[in-house]
Chain A
Amino acid sequence: MMTRLSNAQIAWRAAQDIDDGAYVNLGIGFPEMVARFQPEGRQAVFHTENGILGFGEAPKPGEEDWDLINAGKKAVTIKPGTAFFHHADSFAMVRGGHLDVAILGAYQVAQNGDLANWSTGPKGVPAVGGAMDLVHGAKRVAVLTDHTTKDGKPKLVDRCTLPLTGVGCVTRIYTSLAVVDIEAGCFVLREKLAALSFDELQSLTGAPLHIDGAVTDLIAPEV
């Protein structure tokens, strides 16, 4: 039985592609882990929708200041160089093409770059937050996800069947099995776990995987 990457390992792999000094927004939850795995010597500047650029790590329990939170409503800290701004400026940074990378979770990603990550259907209370804004404007929109759903269905699909967050917006997908780019409406395989054959990976993917150049081994340390 081949071992898939853990969420932390997927986040680690995504962090390796973030340049020093990049302006980065990390989606709530799983993508937030990317901040922990910045390579030595590189420091990204993290943006949060509620109006902070360059915030620091979580404070110690008991030292929270509730005027200083991130988009997930968790306490953060300031550090030298932190800036505050209002919500319209914050989303000007997003839509205006000023962020280098936005990293989001996904329910489904289609081969044309469509993303579904905000709603699993009409039941319950709908909530979108900043997801529909974040997929537009950042120079790279990357997705972190397990390669399949809990019951084994592909999350990389021909067409999204769940409500869309954005059309043709995703540029790279980091999964528990592979790294896949989206180019000209196709999934292009860049990296896969060495223990997994191309055919096995294809059988877990809902649309054709294309090969354009070398496919390298997807390797992540225990983290």
Chain B
Amino acid sequence: MDKRIADLAEAVADITDNATVMIGGFGGSGAPIELIHALIDRYLATGSPKNLTVINNNAGNGHVGIAAMIEQGMVAKMVCSFPRSADPRVFTERYLAGEIALELVPQGTLAERIRAGGAGIPAFYTPTGFGTDLAQGKPVAEFDGRSYVQERWLKADYALIKAETGDHLGNLTYRMAARNFAPLMAMAAARTIVQVSRVVEPGGIDPEAVVTPGIFVDAVVAVPNPAQEEDLNRANAAHPEVTA
């Protein structure tokens, strides 16, 4: 078995129109910038994939990563907890113009819905959101004298995530707080595509240190020195680059 894929373009080649795509990251931390930009490049060259539903904690920052996907018009709907950032203009303008849909989900509920999707749990009850606008229309139930809201699993056709080290079998380790949603998304997507800073042979990761076991991973592509969204934004970067 070898899950390695030679390049970024090939890694994102089979993502279809109308797909639901989970994208790792919390703000810029863990954002798979190179995979996202490869997907944008494919869209600009072929017109596909479009009409995507994107699941991420946020809704992009500046003009790179998810913000650039939205700016190019690839995204029909965002599922997220916090569609604000230092520079949220791309999402904000489209949302206020009615050009992009938003499903707002409390952050812990978002994480648990993704976990449930990957774990085969179709619904669960949480105290989060009970009695608030975000629980409207959802079943509620009382357990041991307290009220809880029923939330449903969240699954995706694809997950695009960033990890630190991956082996040929897809076993992964992450770097510091960059892991955030990635281990959950890897479980919840039909096909999980991972960019890793370093690819190693099987045995190159201590089994005790594996965070995401390879069973949850379908494709591994090496991106040795991944960009940080924050650095790109501080340099006023855009994707594709704006030529004067």
Q: B212's closest neighbor in chain A, by CB?
A: A86
A165 touches B132 (CB 8 A): yes
Once A69-B27, A136-B127 are accepted as A-B contacts, the answer to whether A86 and B183 lie under 8 Å apart by CB is: yes
The 10 closest A-B pairs by CB, nearest first: A91-B108, A133-B108, A167-B131, A87-B111, A136-B127, A130-B107, A132-B106, A67-B178, A88-B115, A73-B27
B132 touches A163 (CB 8 A): yes
A residues 143-183 touching B (CB-CB < 8 Å): 163-167
Bound complex: CA A124 to CA B105 (Å): 16
Set of chain B residues within 8 Å of A130, measured between Cβ atoms: 81, 106-108
Number of interface residues of B (CB under 8 A): 54
Q: A134's closest neighbor in chain B, by CB?
A: B108
A86 touches B106 (CB 8 A): no
A66 touches B132 (CB 8 A): no
B65-103 Cβ-contact flags toward A at 8 Å (1 or 0):
000000000000000011111101001100110000010
A126 within 8 A of B: yes
B37 within 8 A of A: no
A7 within 8 A of B: no
Set of chain B residues within 8 Å of A50, measured between Cβ atoms: 26, 29, 177, 180
A36 within 8 A of B: no
B32 within 8 A of A: no
Bound complex: CA A135 to CA B133 (Å): 15
A residues 29-76 touching B (CB-CB < 8 Å): 48-52, 64-69, 73
Bound complex: CA A119 to CA B129 (Å): 13
A residues contacting B by CB (< 8 A) are: 48-52, 64-69, 73, 78, 84-88, 90-91, 94-95, 114, 119, 124-133, 136-137, 163-167
A49 touches B84 (CB 8 A): no
B96 touches A125 (CB 8 A): yes
Which applies to chain A's interface (DSSP): helix, strand, loop or mixed? loop
Which of B4-12, B13-21, B215-223, B224-232 participates in binding chain A? B224-232
Once A127-B84, A128-B81, A129-B82 are accepted as A-B contacts, the answer to whether A91 and B132 lie under 8 Å apart by CB is: no
Q: In whole Å, how far is B207's beta carbon from the nearest beta carbon of chain A? A: 18
Set of chain B residues within 8 Å of A133, measured between Cβ atoms: 106-109, 128
Bound complex: CA A132 to CA B81 (Å): 10
Q: In whole Å, how far is B25's beta carbon from the nearest beta carbon of chain A? A: 10
B134 within 8 A of A: yes
Q: B93's closest neighbor in chain A, by CB?
A: A125
A73 touches B85 (CB 8 A): yes
A-B contact list, 12 entries, CB within 8 Å? A51-B180, A64-B230, A67-B30, A69-B29, A84-B174, A87-B108, A88-B184, A91-B107, A125-B83, A132-B129, A133-B128, A166-B132
B237 within 8 A of A: no
Contacting A163 at CB < 8 Å: which of B95, B133, B231? B133
Given contacts A95-B108, A129-B107, 20 further A-B contacts (CB under 8 A): A51-B177, A67-B30, A86-B111, A86-B211, A87-B110, A88-B114, A95-B128, A119-B133, A125-B83, A125-B84, A125-B96, A126-B83, A127-B83, A128-B82, A128-B106, A128-B107, A129-B81, A130-B107, A163-B133, A164-B133
